[in-house]
Structure 1
Amino acid sequence: MAAGDRRPAAAGGQRHPARPRPGAAPPALPAAHRVDRLGARPPRRGARLRPPLRPRARRGRGPLRSLRRHVRQRLDARLRRRRTRRRPAAARPRRRSRHPAADARRVRERGVNPAQIAAIAFDLDGTLVDSRYDLAEAVNRMRADFRLAPLPLPEVVAMVGRGARQLVTRALGDDPGEERLDGALAVFLAHYDAVATDATLPYPGISALLAEQVGRRRLALATNKPEGPTRRILEHFGWDGLFEVVIGGDTLAGRKPDPIVLRTIAERLELPTGQVLMVGDSRIDAAAARAAGAPFVFVEWGFATPEESAELAGEWRARDSAALRSFLAR
């Protein structure tokens, strides 16, 4: 701007107009300026010219979500390298269902299909009958004849399972020798024949289970007890007509866990061993079924010790006769 074009200063040497005093009316504006100012104001009623602001949805978590994307990516990579890796939590053991349908589902998953079972081979002692007291009585009578002290019941029960000869061998202790063992075995069998049915009783629900399965499947008995006392117990409870095949510890050249026992039962019933279910209470029964290629069900109410029961954790288990009946009914 040229020097001649400068505006004259206000009175008193002030170039700009003085500010209005408080309470004084503002100076009037030009008409055009007033119109533009009124048109820029939003209307008092109705919708606003600009919609209200809404908060953005959170797309990420953590304190870095408000930063730019490329900055977040760099910082996240650095933070990940500094983080300590956590060890995976140990898997919690699944709670075992006690429902019969769940039991049957576990059996099918382990290869035991109730629909494919055509025959059942039962063990006797510890599975169908509780014969602990009569066995302990015969053992202690035999020991008394040899001037030995009686054994407690749990100790005798732990010896049962591999046949009468093994039971007598364990009851005598050490190495009795063949001649003494033969004499002790004859004495034991004589005493047991006298007391075989004195205190022996079927387990709860077993009689109903056998009566229910007679019309549906073929039944057999596979035990290491001598065949003579075995048939006497069956006749005592009226079960002699239920089993088509009865094999004792002295019936064949071998006994459980030899697979000849279940294979012989399958041959006499004219069935494959895969359709003959072995039901027992010991690792001997499980080993016999495994060797013959037959399915196996472990009953928890028998003579098995806690250690032996833990070894059979992979087998299907029946906690009582009701659980076994619900499985066989499918």
Structure 2
Amino acid sequence: MPNADRPDGLDAAAFDAVVWDLDGTLVHLAVDWEAVATDAEATFRSAGVDADGMDLWAMLDLADAEGMRDDVEAVIADHEREGARRSTRLACADRMGAFDAEGVCSLNCEAACRVALDAHDLTSHADAVVGRDSVATRKPDPEPLLETLRRMDAAPEEAVFVGDSRRDELTAERAGVAFRYVGDGPSGV
């Protein structure tokens, strides 16, 4: 819902808190997701578990079921941290720091979020950072976004979540938080 002053609809006076998605919103992580899947599949294979052809989210669910979450999470997180170091800053990152309370809620691991924020001099603007591994569930479950708001001491009804995907929009909807797309709309789920 853009307004006349801000094409992205983020009027600082309209919200007490802004929570940003990371990858695709503030930065673009330089991650080869096919290589991540290949390495995760190899981790499963070495444990005698078939995960061939699964997407990463299904692999994380399988890892939970097989008691392999730490091993699989480590493989994914290694790629994400390296991708965060080589990430590119996106235009929306220039808006970070313009609001009273700001946080980051991401499907990436928390460490990768922090690496990317550090790499682009955004850390000082983040009052809270919640990644995929910070809580027991992941987006589009509302808990990661709600935990980000709790860490910011902000109420859902006074906040906005800015993201690039339908998954981000669903997360906000389920958490009772306003939502704004960065750019022209969803990049995917």
Tell whether the structures are fold-level matches, with TM greater than 0.5: yes
* Residue 118 (1) aligns with residue 16 (2): yes
Structure-2 change in CA distance of 1:239 and 1:137 (3 Å)? farther
Go from structure 1 to structure 2 and tell me whether the alpha carbon gap of 1:130 and 1:145 turns closer, same or farther (over 3 Å shift): same
Q: How far apart in 2 are the matches of 1:179 and 1:268?
A: 29
Deviations 1:193-234 (A, max 9, x none): 344322x20113x342114x1xx4211111121111111111
Matched, 1:129 2:17: no
Does the 8 A contact of 1:126 with 1:303 survive in 2?
A: no
> Equivalents in 1 of 2:108, 2:179: separation in Å?
20
From the two aligned structures, give the one with the greater strand fraction: 2
1:244 aligns with 2:127: yes
Distance 1:271 1:181 in 2: 31
In structure 2, relative to structure 1, the CA distance for the partners of 1:195 and 1:145 (3 Å cut) is farther
Aligned to 1:288: 171
Residue 148 of structure 2 aligns to a residue in which SS?
Answer: helix
Rounded to whole Å, the distance in 1 between the matches of 2:165 and 2:157 is 20
Residue 289 of structure 1 and its aligned partner are, at CA, apart by 1.1
Distance 1:168 1:302 in 2: 27
In structure 2, runs of 5+ residues without a counterpart are 44-54
1:273 aligns with 2:156: yes
- Distance of aligned partners of 1:224 and 1:188 in 2 relative to their CA distance in 1, 3 Å threshold: closer
Post-superposition offset of 1:119: 0.8
- Contact 1:220–1:244, Cα closer than 8 Å, also in 2: yes
Structure 1 residue 297: deviation in Å?
Answer: 0.4
Residue number in structure 2 paired with 1:41 = none
- Please give the residue correspondences for 1:307-322 in structure 2 after superposition, counting only pairs within 5 Å: none
Aligned-partner SS, 1:121: strand
- Calculate percent identity across the aligned residue pairs: 26
Per-residue CA deviation, residues 27-69 of structure 1 (Å, 9 max, x unaligned), is: xxxxxxxxxxxxxxxxxxxxxxxxxxxxxxxxxxxxxxxxxxx
Aligned to 2:111, the other structure's residue is in SS state helix
Q: Residue type of the partner of 1:178?
A: E
Q: Secondary structure at the match of 1:139?
A: helix
Are the counterparts in 2 of residues 168 and 185 from structure 1 also a CA contact under 8 Å?
no
Aligned counterpart, 2:95: 209
**TM-superposition CA deviations, 1:96-149 (whole Å, max 9, x none):** xxx952988xx7xxxx98633011000001111112x42437426627957xxx
Q: Quote the RMSD (CA, aligned, Å).
A: 3.5
Residues 27, 116 of structure 2: 8 Å contact kept? no
Structure with more relative contact order (C-alpha pairs < 8 Å, separation 6 or more): 2
**SS in structure 1 opposite 2:125?**
coil
Greater C-alpha radius of gyration: 1
SS at match of 1:304: coil
Contact 2:80 2:108 in 1 (8 A): no
1:142 equivalent to 2:25? Answer no
Q: 1:181 to 1:261 in 2, by over 3 A?
A: closer
What is the alpha-carbon distance in structure 2 between the residues aligned to residue 243 and residue 194 of structure 1? 21
Residues 127 and 302 of structure 1 are in contact (CA less than 8 Å); yes or no, is this contact kept in structure 2?
A: no
- The TM-score, its normalising length taken from structure 1, stands at 0.44
- Alpha-carbon deviations, 1:81-105, whole Å to 9, x = none? xxxxxxxxxxxxxxxxxx952988x
Which runs of 5 or more residues in structure 1 are unaligned? Answer: 1-98, 147-158, 160-164, 309-330
Distance 1:270 1:169 in 2: 30
1:127–1:301 Cα contact (<8 Å) kept = no
State how far apart, in whole Å, the 2-side matches of 1:182 and 1:202 are: 29
Question: Number of residues paired by the alignment?
Answer: 176
